[in-house]
Structure 1
């Protein structure tokens, strides 16, 4: 995977290493699946309570977590397919707030889609004994990264949420992201995100632009259609 550097604009929101560490911890806590019996036989993973398998999946879930505008637009796509009213409401809650601006932390566009180095955040979590990372493959060819949540990591995640209610935002958004990604692996999530024109057409090495303006226009159109349909039924 490429690791070209890109310096954020002074006007572009940026996160600190500590903020990234909390977000990634809550993402892994919310997104992990039970570890296998084979995993637990490794001494370093004896206290593991969950695992997120593959870097691609972690990065793609993090993309929707860091980009509420893209998340809302995906909810609108789901609504167009299912016509489930709560999806339209959830998208509206995001797009009619400042969330797409104040909660958006753009990611870089690389060969394999959205990517942002998580090494610093993971280093914080690993040094504190909250998360363990295991690499599969050979020294010259790493095929897969697995991210294990340790028992202490789960305890700390619950403590953070209890002591700092502001972080409940990430818990709620992780749940929404996972519902949207239901049953999709990392490669499938990547393919879905590439369907967004702004995402796919971003120059490699640049930060992926916002879709908030287009999503808000789309929300207005879909709401008007829904209201028109209700009026027609009532009439």
Structure 2
């Protein structure tokens, strides 16, 4: 449980990041033979930007709901409105929200401690691309052990079932999108985009709930006109 402003623990971060990587990683076609440390790797999340953007939506249900409404307005798919409504008509945007800071590339939080827990346990392997003087990309490889642990954690600890559900939703919402695309999408939100660099990104729960009511009212009007 959380109230706005609470910070997560290293252990919470480690489990959440493992669940995100497990759900969103792209399967590898085969072993990465040139790197012995990746012999057991089965999937990868490419770029730290993508990992951070996925984490933002998991940590901020109000922004996730706002994105679901964006998609609903484009596609008209009722299930998107229903998912947003499920989030917004609960206390989830308040009690499950862990705010993030805005930096040059949008929402960003240090993940080194959480990743060190996952790396030391052999669940995730991080690899850098570039040179010793300039790293251009971080990739996060999920091992078979990591996949197994992610599944066992959810089965053994019901408290993590919420995160497992939200991670699956975020993974489905962002499938096929790279980190830069997700960053651009999050910047479409005025509150997110206008947050000064170095400050905490504020909640959009209130305005998103108002938007949901407006969309539902519009749908009800259309139904009445057609009846």
Tell me the distance in 2 between the aligned counterparts of 1:12 and 1:162: 29
User: What does 1:119-198 correspond to in 2, within 5 Å?
Assistant: 119-198=112-191
Indicate which of 9, 28, 32 corresponds to 1:35: 28
Could you tell me which residue of structure 1 aligns to residue 67 of structure 2?
Answer: 74
Structure 1 unpaired stretches of 5+: 1-9
Aligned to 2:101: 108
CA distance in 1, matches of 2:60, 2:13: 14
1:21 lines up with 2:14 in the alignment = yes
TM-score if structure 2 supplies the norm length? 0.95
Partner residue, 1:46? 39
TM-score by length of 1: 0.92
1:182 deviates by: 2.8
**Equivalent in the alignment of 1:232:** 225
Task: State the Cα distance separating 1:35 from its structure 2 match.
Answer: 2.4
| Counterpart secondary structure, 1:208 | coil
The 5-angstrom pairing of residues 84-95 of structure 1 reads 84-95=77-88
Checking the alignment, whether the CA contact within 8 Å between 2:46 and 2:139 is kept in structure 1 is yes
Count, aligned residues? 225
- CA deviations 1:123-152 (Å, max 9, x no partner) are 111111111100011111001101011111
**Residue 39 of structure 1: CA displacement?**
2.3
SS at match of 2:26: coil
After superposition, the CA RMSD in angstroms is 1.3
Structure 2 alignment gaps of length 5 or more: none
Shift of 1:26: 0.4
SS of the residue corresponding to residue 201 of structure 2 reads coil
Q: Matched residues in 2 for 1:143 and 1:36: separation?
A: 23
**How many angstroms does 1:82 deviate by?**
1.2
Q: Report which stretch shifted further, 224-233 or 117-126.
A: 224-233
For residues 191 and 40 of structure 1, the distance between their equivalents in structure 2, rounded to whole angstroms, comes to 34
Report if the CA contact (8 A) 1:13-1:102 is conserved.
no
Displaced runs of 4 or more, over 3 A:
none
